[in-house]
Structure 1
């Protein structure tokens, strides 16, 4: 087991780090991109993992010189995801770290998902009641790669950011953690 004894808290990203939901999100994005005329590039879309959906639409609009309404595209993507009726599974190696350190270390989740989605997913896996903080895209003004998500998790846990370690699966998430001082 990785030695995290020099930290007081652990912050996990949710999608792609704690829960294997990225394939389903990528399929929902593929369908959404097709519907709105965005070229779909799996690697590029994966690189945006952790960015809130509405902000991803802003990025896509800028990249492809389009002007789709972020709320409309986000709603379509959410409905596409929900129509798949998939229940992502826990990533066992990450969950092993969670379980090993949970008895004596604060644990938070900082995710680019909307709060209802995050709460549903975490509840279905019995995790919501086991964490000390949940910060979602719904709870912040600036999503990843901005550091606000991780700074908010650390503040809610009552721990200095430098005393927290982050588990992330994307460069954008790593950048947010670094800029937050975690």
Structure 2
């Protein structure tokens, strides 16, 4: 399947949303930074150390919201009560911080809108034209609304997002469970499916699930890290796949 840049054994493609299909990863990062910096500034005072891009890539990117809160806070030696999913955004709990981030994210999306990566949409159309099945796999609970906002909901046969994962009790990335669920719904073995991800946790999930091909999408200058975490190929845009002269 050289025109798609995939092995001939691949029958299905599983795409992450933020940073692969849409330009929302930067919006997520900004919302996380605003959330954590406010929390850390109030907690640490003069010893305040801001949340940065490295923190986002290592501890938060691609993970379910509450997992991102836990993982980042653990990196700073901080423990908070879990609270409950319905905690208000000002609550000093894991879920409260996560809900504050989501409130900021939705505000930024409302004011700035959502933009898709045209290269990705064209690639998905090529994939579907060749008869491969497609799924969107995202930790975001806002996945369906985002897809609808860019008119891309019909490009995917299956959607496994934060809402579906919560309903089914599926752990998020770096565990492979959400990708495995998408492959099952598409009726293909993991070895016959390709994963498309920009997050290091997504690379880990692709490797852990033993998927047939893992494509790293480098939107943030993390090429070597994406390879180290399990990518078979790294591109800056999916439009490069299947184009002569691009390298694995």
Counterpart of 2:127 (choices 77, 85, 101) is 101
Match of 2:155 among 118, 127, 130: 130
TM-score normalised per structure 1: 0.92
Unaligned runs of 5+ residues in structure 2 are 42-49, 81-92, 212-248
| Structure 1 residues 50-61: aligned runs within 5 Å | 50-61=62-73
Aligned to 1:167: 196
Q: Is 1:42 the counterpart of 2:53 in the alignment?
A: yes
State whether structure 2 residue 110 is matched by structure 1 residue 110.
no
Segment of structure 1 superposing worse, 35-44 or 120-129: 35-44
Q: CA deviation at 1:155?
A: 0.7
Equivalent position to 1:74, from 98, 102, 113 = 98
Measure, in 2, the Cα distance between the counterparts of 1:98 and 1:24.
23
Is 1:90 matched with 2:116?
A: yes
Flag the structure with more relative contact order, 1 or 2, with Cα contacts below 8 A and sequence separation at least 6.
Answer: 1
Aligned match of 2:228 = none
Over 4 Å off, 4+ runs: none
Which region of structure 1 is more displaced relative to structure 2, 141-150 or 4-13? 4-13
- In structure 1, the partner of 2:214 is none
Report the Cα offset of residue 6 of structure 1.
2.8
Deviation by residue 1:45-80 (Cα, 9 ceiling, x = unmatched):
034311111100111221112233221011100001
Aligned alpha-carbon RMSD (Å) = 1.5
Gaps of 5+ in 1: none
Deviations 1:85-118 (A, max 9, x none): 232211122222101011311100111211xx10
User: Which residue among 27, 37, 49 is the counterpart of 1:24?
Assistant: 27
Aligned residues: 180
Correspondence for 1:150: 179
TM-score, structure 2 as length reference:
0.69
